[in-house]
Amino acid sequence: MTSSALPKLTITRPDDWHLHLRDGDAMTTVLPHTAAQFARAIVMPNLKPPVTTTEQAAAYRQRILAALPDGMLFEPLMTLYLTDNTPPDEIRRAKDSGFVHAVKLYPAGATTNSDAGVTDLRKCYKTLEVMQEVGMPFLVHGEVTNPEIDLFDREAVFIETVMQPLRADMPELRVVFEHITTSEAAAYVAEATGPIAATITAHHLLYNRNEIFKGGIRPHYYCLPVLKRETHRLALVKAATSGNPRFFLGTDSAPHAKGVKEHACGCAGCYTALHAMELYAQAFDQVGALDKLEGFASFYGPDFYRLPRNTSTLTMKREAWTLPAELSYLDGSLVPLNGGEVMQWKAV
């Protein structure tokens, strides 16, 4: 499809290549939202305790499938949480399982539930070498954690101090630079040699950091990596709508109860699973690039992960509707990003 004036858009069913499903009752609430729009999702392993073994991933996968409402089709693509002590053998077990599709790097202290993360990537080299050998994708939360580095510079500094040395040492390692937020990351991924790609969230395509402070502090716009300046947002939009297969969809939808978001020390994470494709459609539509949405949302992800593309479809209509302000969640509620606002697209 080419004209942005068309009232309807049908694309191959998309997948979400970066998702937080949580566990237990929280998962029961959020899973149907993702399954309504996406055929598959790469499920983040930052539970408490984290999913560090293939055995734990198998059990988590079963809990996800058990929580899926009858009649909904959805395939969870599992990941392992890399620690300083992940043995190389664990990668072989993960590869042999057929259901673990990637290993995630959380630099220790970088984000929600990252205490067990990696303190120094050099401790993991034996394990990373096996990942390189068997073609296991390495999903990188690309921010340094040094408190002396300005929060807004953490991704750019990571590229120079961690990403470039790592990829020089392991040129065949398949790397996904997760939820990129800067022009530096977009340029690095576009220009680098070797097997690298990046996911981009809908909120980083739609908003810059002003959104967090518009008329007062707005915690539902706080996520990590944090929203950046407008120049960076524009670079991300350009990358996502370029048709370059190195850039694909990852919502990073990350539910936190209202009470811990609207708090003196609020949690990082935006909840977008409810209206993910509507947000992406809006971001692409805004720049007249709806014709590029299908590649970004439905083709380039499976191609990178060496999985088949989906055969079913998703249809969206250009139609105004109001997103619920809050959803019932655990003992309280969950506030979706844009809760109570009018959306321009609607998935049918």
Catalytic positions: 252
Among 28, 34, 46, 52, binds ligand NCD (CB under 6 A): 46
Round to whole Å and give the CA distance between 67 and 61.
10
DSSP 152-178: GGHHHHHIIIIIHHHHHH-TT--EEE-
223 binds, among Zn ion, ligand NCD, none (CB under 5 to 8 A by kind): ligand NCD
> What number of chain residues touch ligand NCD (CB under 6 A)?
11
Among 100, 124, 254, 334, binds ligand NCD (CB under 6 A): 254
Nearest residue (CB) to ligand NCD, 268 versus 287: 268
CA 342 to chain centre: 24
224 binds, among ligand NCD, Zn ion, none (CB under 5 to 8 A by kind): ligand NCD
Per CB under 6 A, 112 contacts ligand NCD = yes
Per CB under 5 A, 143 contacts Zn ion = no
Per CB under 6 A, 251 contacts ligand NCD = no
268 binds, among Zn ion, ligand NCD, none (CB under 5 to 8 A by kind): ligand NCD
Alpha helix (H) ranges present in the chain?
24-37, 54-67, 88-97, 125-134, 154-158, 164-169, 183-191, 202-206, 210-213, 230-240, 258-261, 276-286, 293-294, 300-305
Round to whole Å and give the CA distance between 203 and 134.
33
Per CB under 6 A, 34 contacts ligand NCD = no
Per CB under 6 A, 20 contacts ligand NCD = yes
Per CB under 5 A, 285 contacts Zn ion = no
Nearest residue (CB) to ligand NCD, 107 versus 295: 107
Round to whole Å and give the CA distance between 199 and 71.
29
Least distance (Å) from Zn ion to the CB of residue 315?
Answer: 28
Number of alpha carbons in the 13 Å side-chain half-sphere of residue 164:
11
Contacts to Zn ion from residues 54-83, by CB under 5 A: none
Least distance (Å) from Zn ion to the CB of residue 224?
Answer: 8
In angstroms, what CA-CA distances link 129 with 34, 102, 172, 281, 331? 33, 14, 9, 39, 44
112 binds, among ligand NCD, Zn ion, none (CB under 5 to 8 A by kind): ligand NCD
Q: Map residues 244-273 to x or -, x wherever contact with Zn ion holds by CB under 5 A.
A: --------x---------------------
Structure tokens at 62: 């079963």
46 binds, among Zn ion, ligand NCD, none (CB under 5 to 8 A by kind): ligand NCD
Round to whole Å and give the CA distance between 205 and 199.
11
Nearest residue (CB) to ligand NCD, 106 versus 305: 106
Who contacts 303 (Cβ-Cβ below 8 Å, separation ≥6)? 245, 309
* b/e per residue 317-348 (b: at least 16 CB within 10 A): ebeeeebeeebebbeeebbbbbbeeebebbbe
Strand 342-347's sheet: what is its strand order? 8-12, 313-322, 342-347
Per CB under 5 A, 155 contacts Zn ion = no
Contacts to ligand NCD from residues 261-300, by CB under 6 A: 268-269
Among 64, 144, 180, 224, binds ligand NCD (CB under 6 A): 224
* Contact footprint for ligand NCD (CB under 6 A): 20, 46, 111-112, 141, 223-224, 252, 254, 268-269
